Chains A and B, each alone.
Chain A
Amino acid sequence: MPKAIVNNIRRLRFDHKEMTQQELADKIGVTRQTVNAIEANKYSPSLEVAFRISEVFGVPLDQVFQYEAAKR
């Protein structure tokens, strides 16, 4: 069953000077493994972490995360 929440973190990292997962993890205060799990849609982060990610990339939250039901 596909996850309802998908994200563009991988692309956003690439667009931001090919930021590594570790660099992003350090900026948002989680482990690299957690960033990897979020990117792979295996873990949905808390609202606080989601906002921190959007703040790092300087984009609104809905450009980082999308709810799949909204696409259908």
Chain B
Amino acid sequence: MSFREKSAWISFVLIFIFGAMWLRNVIRVEFFGLHQDPMKFFFVILVGLVAAEIGLHIAIAIQSPREARTPKDERERLIDLKASRIAFYVLTVGALASIGTLHLPDSNRFMMAQAMMGSIIIATLTRFAVQIALYRRDA
């Protein structure tokens, strides 16, 4: 497995875990009335995500330092572009759907903001999933 593919896997798994924790907290606050500051929890897990990303990327860079130093070549840049294009469509649909939540009964700005956040997480997961699929297909 190449360094770039490992990097995509790490980001995908970490963002999936981050997204699951964030979603669980939003559901608890929104539907079960848990009195907890959702933004404080969000920033705590965000810092954890960034720290884990840095730590694991350092670990794989130590494993294959040569690949880590090599800049992305044309095929890898193309894979990035294809993945970003598909993720952009997911983000656009998610953003429009988030605005649509304002028309739901009992909607509020918190719900819309969380829907936006959810869209960003799903779009990011899509980006890394497409990258992994394209790296696997060409392997």
Contact = CB atoms under 8 A, between A and B. Distances in A.
A37 B139 CA distance: 6
A52 to B, nearest CB: 11
A30 B73 contact: yes
A37 B75 CA distance: 9
Nearest to B79: A43
Contacts, number: 35
Chain B interface category by residue count: 10 to 19
The SS class assigned to the B binding surface is helix
B74 interface: yes
Interface residues of A, number: 14
Nearest to B3: A31
A7 to B, nearest CB: 15
Given A31-B2, A31-B67, A37 B138 contact: yes
A30 B138 contact: no
A11 B139 CA distance: 20
Nearest to B71: A29
A28 B73 CA distance: 10
Interface of B: 2, 4, 67, 70, 73-76, 135, 137-139
Interface of A: 29-34, 36-37, 40, 42-43, 45-46, 49
19 contacts: A30-B73, A30-B74, A30-B75, A31-B67, A31-B73, A31-B75, A33-B138, A34-B73, A34-B74, A34-B75, A34-B76, A36-B139, A37-B138, A42-B137, A43-B75, A43-B138, A45-B74, A45-B75, A46-B74
